[in-house]
Amino acid sequence: MSQAKHLIRIWDLPTRLFHWGLVLLVGLVFLSALLGALDIHEIAGEGVLALVLFRLAWGVHGSQTARFSDFLGGFAAIQKYLVHRESKSAGHNPLGGWMAVAMLAILLVQAITGLIANDGIFFQGPLAHRTSGIISDAATAVHHQLANLLATLIVIHVTAILLYFFVGKENLLMPMLSGKKLVTTSVNSIHFSSSISAAKILCVVILAIVILLAVL
């Protein structure tokens, strides 16, 4: 017997703006690195840092589906999802959740190593002068390696979304655009936090980065 489907809101506006802002900035970060435009690279990379720090805070204080506690699960949760396609969250399934955390973690390390990296010639990150040359060079090496890993994860991420659509007949993209998803199961009402509190968190994060970079 086929169950009736209904459209519900699963992603809040801040999470969606975060995602598409991240896509834009990460695109700019890669493009500027490719072109050797390191001034733009630095600003875009610091923008990524602000977005990631915002997302970490939103993962604790934000809407239900944005919270790490809502979508991260252990081995049993992953197994349940793989075998029965059952997931406790209306947002990310357990695999998507860990993929999101992996990308956030790499972006965070990438931004921090970038701040102390150097290009060996003219350019160095704004905090490179606070470290020794050896540490700056080591950070640069990590920055290079992680850039490759990140690019690989992004390709896997987009391929997975396409596979869900064409093979699994599940449209994950539409919810990330409109916020709404067609679901068959009965989902209990989802708690949403206000976009104003998200804007406040983002302002605090940006201010903290600007002050730290000015003081250090």
38 near ligand HEM (CB under 6 A): yes
Q: Which is nearer to ligand HEM, 1 or 24 (CB)?
A: 24
Taking each helix axis as running N to C, give the angle between helix 94-115 and helix 38-61, from 0 to 180 degrees, rounded to the nearest 10.
Answer: 140
How many other C-beta atoms are found inside a 10 Å radius of the C-beta of residue 109? 17
Q: Which is nearer to ligand HEM, 1 or 78 (CB)?
A: 78
We find the least distance from the C-beta atom of residue 186 to ligand HEM, in angstroms, to be 19
Chosen residue from 5, 6, 144, 191 binding ligand HEM by CB under 6 A = 144
Chosen residue from 7, 158, 211, 216 binding ligand HEM by CB under 6 A = 158
172 near ligand HEM (CB under 6 A): yes
92: Cβ–Cβ under 8 A, 6 or more apart, which residues? Answer: 65, 71, 100
How many other C-beta atoms are found inside a 10 Å radius of the C-beta of residue 153? 16
Output the DSSP codes for 47-58: HHHHHHHHHHHH
Q: How large is the C-alpha radius of gyration of the chain?
A: 19
Question: Judged by CB under 6 A, which stretch of 80-88, 151-159, 188-196, 201-209 contacts ligand HEM?
Answer: 151-159
13: Cβ–Cβ under 8 A, 6 or more apart, which residues? Answer: 179, 195, 198
Closest CA to 119 of 100, 139, 101: 139
92 near ligand HEM (CB under 6 A): yes
Tokens of 19: 């995602």
Strands 6-9 and 180-183: antiparallel
Tokens of 191: 């708690």
We find the least distance from the C-beta atom of residue 2 to ligand HEM, in angstroms, to be 23
**For ligand HEM, how many residues bind (rule: CB under 6 A)?**
45
173 near ligand HEM (CB under 6 A): yes
List the interface residues with ligand HEM, window 101-140 (CB under 6 A): 103-104, 107, 110-111, 114-115, 117-120, 123, 125, 140
* Contact positions vs ligand HEM (CB under 6 A): 15, 18-19, 22-23, 26-27, 29-30, 33, 38, 41-42, 45-46, 48, 55, 92, 96, 100, 103-104, 107, 110-111, 114-115, 117-120, 123, 125, 140, 143-144, 147, 150, 154, 157-158, 161, 172-173, 176
